[in-house]
């Protein structure tokens, strides 16, 4: 199959899944900002996105996109390393147009994966998962705070260690997005000089806004915990 047998096809899969994940990030960022404005409103959103069938379908779809993106990322990285062979050990002058993020996408991606695992432990495993287990008949699971997103945000971001880890994760995500977004557009055909420079600018602006908004929630709730 072309999407798996050729390097171009694999890059297309990476690009499409990456753009889908970017759309999810945008939604998640907007959702998190609600917590800064209204605790009640945020918890209403969390309850709506609990263990309902549509939320579960979206979760499974999102997980599938993420797994495919990761698998193809490692696949392409290994393919590129094999193609370069011993040349990758040679000391060569880096071209000016080859940015740092481009050279370290695998490392950045691994940090993003580890950060996602941390996020799932702190939120998903305490919110949607208990509701799902309860709906499946495990009534011994405590679901008192399953839909109380603000409660979990406060608990998580009152811990300075977790705050630092989240900010490191967000920094890695920023670098990953600044390169990945415009690179995806290039793969999908927006590869002339005019549009590539525009997409690079849009990528930087988008990544900065998204990451800054996520970081704002982390920092604001940490400061609130210090003032209590």
Q: Over the Cα atoms of the chain, what is R_g?
A: 20
Roughly what angle, to the nearest 10 degrees, separates helices 7-37 and 53-84?
A: 140
Distance CA 48, CA 55 (A): 8
Q: What is the pLDDT of residues 177-217, one digit of tens each?
A: 888 888 888 887 766 777 788 888 899 999 999 999 999 99
Range 151-157 average pLDDT: 97
User: Angle at Cα 49 formed by Cα 211 and Cα 41, nearest 5°?
Assistant: 70
Residues 6+ apart with CB under 8 A from 48: 55
182 close to 199: Cβ distance less than 8 angstroms: yes
DSSP designation for 86: G
Q: What is the pLDDT of residues 24-33, one digit of tens each?
A: 999 999 999 9
Residue 171 has pLDDT above 60, yes or no: yes
Distance CA 202, CA 204 (A): 5
Task: Tell me how far the alpha carbon of residue 134 is from its chain's centroid.
Answer: 28
pLDDT at 3: 59
Residue where the block lists tokens 């997409």: 199
Listed by start position, the domains of the chain span 2-88+103-227
172 close to 108: Cβ distance less than 8 angstroms: yes
- Burial class of 196 by CB neighbour count within 10 A (0 to 12, 13 to 18, 19+): middle
Residues 6+ apart with CB under 8 A from 206: 22, 177, 181
pLDDT at 2: 53
Distance CA 35, CA 48 (A): 15
Pick the CATH number of 2-88+103-227 from 1.25.40.10, 3.40.50.280, 3.40.50.10860, 1.20.1300.10: 1.20.1300.10
Q: What is the pTM of this model?
A: 0.86
């Amino acid at each position: 199959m072309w999407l798996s047998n050729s390097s171009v096809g694999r890059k297309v899969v990476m690009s499409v899944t990456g753009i889908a994940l970017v759309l999810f990030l945008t939604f998640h960022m907007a959702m998190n900002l609600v917590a800064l404005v209204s605790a009640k409103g945020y918890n209403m959103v969390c309850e709506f996105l609990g263990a309902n069938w549509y939320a579960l379908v979206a979760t499974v779809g999102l997980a599938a996109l993420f797994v495919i993106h990761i698998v193809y990322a490692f696949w392409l990285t290994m393919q590129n390393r094999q193609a370069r062979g011993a040349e990758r050990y040679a000391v060569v002058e880096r071209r000016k147009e080859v940015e740092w993020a481009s050279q370290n996408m695998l490392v950045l991606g691994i940090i993003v994966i580890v950060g996602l695992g941390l996020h799932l432990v702190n939120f998903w495993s305490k919110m949607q998962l208990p509701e799902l287990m309860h709906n499946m008949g495990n009534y011994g699971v405590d679901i008192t705070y399953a839909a109380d997103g603000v409660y979990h945000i406060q608990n998580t971001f009152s811990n300075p260690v977790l705050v630092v880890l989240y900010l490191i994760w967000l920094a890695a995500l920023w670098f990953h997005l600044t390169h990945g977004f415009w690179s995806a557009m290039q793969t999908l055909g927006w590869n002339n000089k005019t549009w590539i420079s525009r997409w690079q600018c849009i990528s930087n602006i988008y990544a900065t806004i998204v990451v800054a908004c996520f970081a704002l929630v982390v920092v604001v709730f940490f400061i609130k915990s210090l003032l209590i």
